[in-house]
Amino acid sequence: MVQVNQANIVQGNNVVQVNGEPIPCQSGTRLPDFLTSLGYQVRLIAVEYNGEILHRQFWEETLLASGDRLEVVTVVGGG
């Protein structure tokens, strides 16, 4: 689980919603870098970006900005 420093949010720093949780994020951060910093294994997830499924080929060029909304789904194998 991601630990959120509420002081960063209150001070008006850039915030991205990740699965409904506000997470501080520096504007211009590349999507894969941000997801990795949150502990996600980028090979095993799907991402919805501002209401649209974002194909993996566009992740590297996607720069985050305050107010962006991400839904991250982790792929889990089983039998």
Domain 6-74 has CATH 3.40.50.450: no
Average pLDDT over residues 36-56: 96
Confidence of residue 9 (pLDDT cuts 50, 70, 90): very low
Percent of the chain with pLDDT over 90: 76
Q: How confident is the model at residue 31 (pLDDT cuts 50, 70, 90)?
A: very high
Task: Give pLDDT, residue 12.
Answer: 52
Whole-angstrom CA distances from 68 to 13, 39, 50, 73 are 13, 19, 6, 16
- What are the Cα distances from residue 56, in Å, to 5, 20, 51, 63? 29, 21, 15, 14
- Identify which of 48, 53, 45, 52 has the alpha carbon closest to the alpha carbon of residue 70: 48
Residue-level pLDDT at 13:
72
- Distance (Å, whole) CA 69 – CA 15: 9
